[in-house]
Amino acid sequence: MEDGYVYLSEKELITVFWKDNELQKFLRNCARPTFPSVRNPALSAMEIWLAGQKPGHLITKLLTDIGTFNETQRKKKRGYARNTWSLSREELIGHLNGIRHPDFTPDDYTARGYVLKGSIRTDGFQLQLLAFKVKELNAVKYKRLHESKLPTRINSTLGGTGDYLTEIRNVVRSREDVSRFWTCEPERIKVLGIDLGQAYVVGASALLPDHPRSAACDEDKSPGTFFNLAVKQKAVYQPTFKLRRWSENRKQATEIDGKSITEIETSLPPVRGDRANIADYVERVRGVEEQLHSFYNENHTFKRKRWDSQKARQEEYQRIADSLLKMVGGSYGAMRDVNNNVVIGIGLGNFDSKGRLSSLHGSFNEFFVKTVSVAHIVDIVLH
């Protein structure tokens, strides 16, 4: 009831489309060149025809035009439509063989964007087109490369962020290490320290280095500049609070078989506390599963509100990330200037949430690390 998504491959979509006379006729016309001697190819023949097409071919024929644009057309698009294309199996094999070649070097790898998988995900309200992220193939390959071919872990995340985050004290141990990694003096590096928590999702402090007041007098330097930033949990939770208030009002107003959704849910046994009984809960919920399913998964208004809440939470995270990056001379979505040397340190602390609201520090940490390092906004993100 919480997820409500169904995954469909193109093979499964053919079975769904086959039940409609017009779509069945369309599919037969598409497959007829493959079976010239057969007047009306059967359903089993459709699978043979599909096996010879590019992954995503049927989806781009009937559901969306994403993945069908050429290079010139993609330049006029934005977002997913601009960066997604379909490849034949031969082209996919050629791409994989290229990164598996003994002479492959990560520094020369520039592929980016998405390649269609040939499957979709839907909850009846929204349709999501599934694809491979080409850049992620780097991380798969890097784990099999000799260390001499890999970029320096401390200031490169081309191979992905998962295995490339490291403690700075294990790498930078002297002034010479700083000059070797960043080609500048330690005093020229900006430092942003981030502490993640529960009551405050983010507590951050930035230290900007001294800089000359004039080019004529290098010794006349202004003191270093400090910036502090704190983001309360309740501020980030506002989209969730708004959804909860709307949801509670909607559940009280929606009646099924003479009972509101609120009454149906409160009548179920508790699943937490001393009186919790999971077996009893499962037995009782079976009797009202149909009513709850119709409210949560067939109500498009509810799904739209939940989608809006998720997008608003994402926007909150983006605003926090933008504020943090502005402290060190950057901004969300912008590439780092080559002369702007920045080190971001993220605290190692780990804790359990004890409040009524779940802590957001874990999800924001994941969002921030991926956003900053993949976009090459800064040189390094530390755990």
The reply to whether the predicted model has a pTM over 0.75 is no
Q: What is the pLDDT of residue 39?
A: 82
Q: What is the pLDDT of residue 175?
A: 80
Q: What is the pLDDT of residue 383?
A: 28
Residues 127 and 179 in one domain: no
Please check whether residue 1 lies inside any domain of the structure.
no
80: Cβ contacts below 8 Å, ≥ 6 apart: 66, 114, 129
Q: What is the pLDDT of residue 380?
A: 33
Residues 122 and 158 in one domain: no
Q: What is the pLDDT of residue 1?
A: 46
Task: Give the rounded distance of the alpha carbon of 57 from its chain centre.
Answer: 25
Q: What is the pLDDT of residue 230?
A: 93
Residues 230 and 112 in one domain: no
CB 68 within 8 A of CB 53: no
The residue segments making up the domain with residue 106 are 6-142
Q: Which of 142, 163, 183 finishes a domain?
A: 142
Quick: pLDDT tens for 50-59. 988 999 999 9
Which residues of the chain carry a pLDDT beneath 50?
A: 1, 164, 212-221, 375-383
Q: Which of 113, 142, 171 finishes a domain?
A: 142
Q: How many domains does the chain have?
A: 2
